């Protein structure tokens, strides 16, 4: 009986192959083919969301009508129907602008989280939002809104000045990021700008206060052809420059010392990534206002699904960031139609549940 019981309890030892299959997670190697396939899927999702966003709103339009109007526009046949004016003059520019801003914010989150090795880092970690907000408020109070691109231009100047100020406070390119000098400098500069913003909010009149409040919560309703063209050009150039550094970014995530031993010029790469990312975010924030949580949520979500290889993470984060902000802006347009909510309210409402989800999964 003892022998039979022992024979029943006996299990042959697992082979190395069994252990590899059961215990070792399978990591798929990032190839150009995989990047293109996943990017194509994300583009399909983006286009589907755009079509849905075009059809919903205070005036509902059948998606097939948009395709008809688009075919007529390509063929050179234009009409002055109300639906066509709503589609091509109001909704389509806003959707394109939301996609550009969402992609820029998501790219900023990916790069800052990797360089600062901080999971809570977002595009505003260097105080860019505070500088842009202060510049925009000064423009609103000074009446710069009467000029073409007056307020966005001052907001961009404020954001750009903030980048150089933070670098100067942190010691420029001579210091490494291991002591969090750049991160702490951004926090200090942002705190100063927040105090200046509160000062202006306390002295402006009610009309200016309404404009400032909407700008501070994110507003995509004023998208114009000029703003869209400038933002799209800056995003495309910035993405090409960032993607060219994707391999170096993968190594820098492991530590600057490791990257340097593997042949990466850490100082030069870090400066390129920070400056290019800061300029992209400065353009987006100066034109759309402060839209929070996109730069935190999107990179985390894409990293959980597709992994941490930046050759894939950068394009999918940009595409999903565009889709996310388009969806958030669509909800902001229809939830209180015909009135509108600032899109920053919707993204902020999505932020808290997502952080709870991350804590439950113990991702960090």
Distance of CA 251 to the CA centre of its chain: 22
Residue 29 counted as domain residue: no
SS3 of residue 300 by DSSP: helix
Residue 194 counted as domain residue: yes
**Predicted local distance difference test score (pLDDT) of residue 242:** 95
How many domains, in total, are found in the chain? 1
Domain around 287 = 97-361
Structure-token match 């406070």, residue found? 169
> Digits of tens for pLDDT over the chain (364 positions)?
444 544 445 444 444 444 444 443 344 678 889 999 999 999 999 999 999 998 888 788 877 777 777 777 666 666 667 777 888 888 889 999 999 999 999 999 999 888 887 777 777 777 888 888 888 888 888 877 777 777 788 888 888 888 888 877 776 545 455 446 777 888 888 888 888 888 888 888 777 787 788 778 787 877 778 888 988 999 999 999 999 999 999 988 887 778 888 888 888 888 889 889 888 888 888 888 888 889 888 998 899 899 889 999 999 999 999 999 999 999 998 888 777 888 888 898 888 787 777 777 654 4
Residue 65 counted as domain residue: no
Residue 61 counted as domain residue: no
Q: What angle do CA 294, 300, 301 make, to 5 degrees?
A: 85
**Predicted local distance difference test score (pLDDT) of residue 28:** 60
**Predicted local distance difference test score (pLDDT) of residue 124:** 74
Report H helices in 24-127: 32-55, 63-75, 82-85, 92-116
**Cβ contact 63:51 at 8 Å:** yes
Q: What angle do CA 91, 93, 96 make, to 5 degrees?
A: 105
Which residue, among 159, 123, 177, 125, has the nearest Cα to 298 in the 3D structure?
123
Burial of 353 (0-12, 13-18, 19+ CB in 10 A): exposed
CATH code at 120? 1.10.3470.10
**Predicted local distance difference test score (pLDDT) of residue 159:** 83
**Predicted local distance difference test score (pLDDT) of residue 222:** 72
């Amino acid at each position: 009986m003892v022998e039979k019981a022992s024979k029943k309890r006996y299990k042959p030892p697992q082979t190395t192959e069994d252990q590899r299959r059961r215990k070792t997670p399978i990591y798929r190697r990032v190839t150009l083919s995989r990047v293109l396939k996943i990017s194509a899927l994300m583009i399909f999702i983006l286009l589907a969301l755009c079509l849905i966003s075009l059809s919903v709103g205070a005036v509902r339009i059948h998606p097939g009508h948009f395709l008809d109007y688009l075919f007529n526009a390509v063929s050179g046949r234009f009409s002055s129907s109300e639906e066509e004016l709503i589609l091509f003059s109001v909704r389509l520019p806003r959707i394109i602008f939301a996609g550009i801003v969402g992609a820029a914010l998501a790219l900023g989150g990916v790069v800052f989280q990797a360089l600062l090795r901080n999971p809570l880092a977002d595009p505003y970690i260097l105080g860019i939002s505070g500088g842009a907000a202060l510049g925009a408020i000064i423009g609103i109070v000074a009446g710069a809104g009467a000029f073409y691109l007056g307020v966005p231009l001052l907001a961009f100047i404020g954001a750009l000045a903030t980048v150089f100020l933070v670098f100067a406070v942190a010691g420029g390119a001579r210091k490494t990021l291991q002591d969090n000098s750049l991160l702490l400098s951004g926090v200090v500069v942002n705190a100063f700008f927040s105090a200046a913003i509160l000062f202006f909010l306390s002295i402006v009149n009610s009309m200016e206060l309404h404009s400032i409040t909407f700008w501070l919560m994110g507003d995509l309703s004023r998208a114009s052809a000029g703003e869209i063209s400038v933002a799209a050009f800056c995003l495309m150039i910035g993405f090409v420059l960032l993607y060219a550094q994707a391999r170096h970014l993968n190594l820098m995530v492991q530590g600057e010392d490791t990257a340097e031993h593997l042949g990466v010029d850490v100082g030069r790469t870090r400066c390129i990534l920070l400056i290019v990312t800061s300029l992209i975010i400065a353009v987006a924030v100066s034109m759309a206002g402060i839209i929070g949580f996109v730069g935190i949520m999107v990179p985390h979500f894409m990293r959980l699904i597709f992994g941490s290889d930046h050759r894939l993470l950068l394009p999918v984060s940009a595409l999903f960031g565009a889709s996310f902000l388009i969806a958030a802006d669509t909800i902001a347009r229809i939830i209180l139609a015909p009135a509108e909510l600032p899109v920053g309210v919707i993204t902020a409402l999505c932020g808290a549940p997502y952080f709870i989800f991350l804590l439950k999964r113990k991702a960090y």
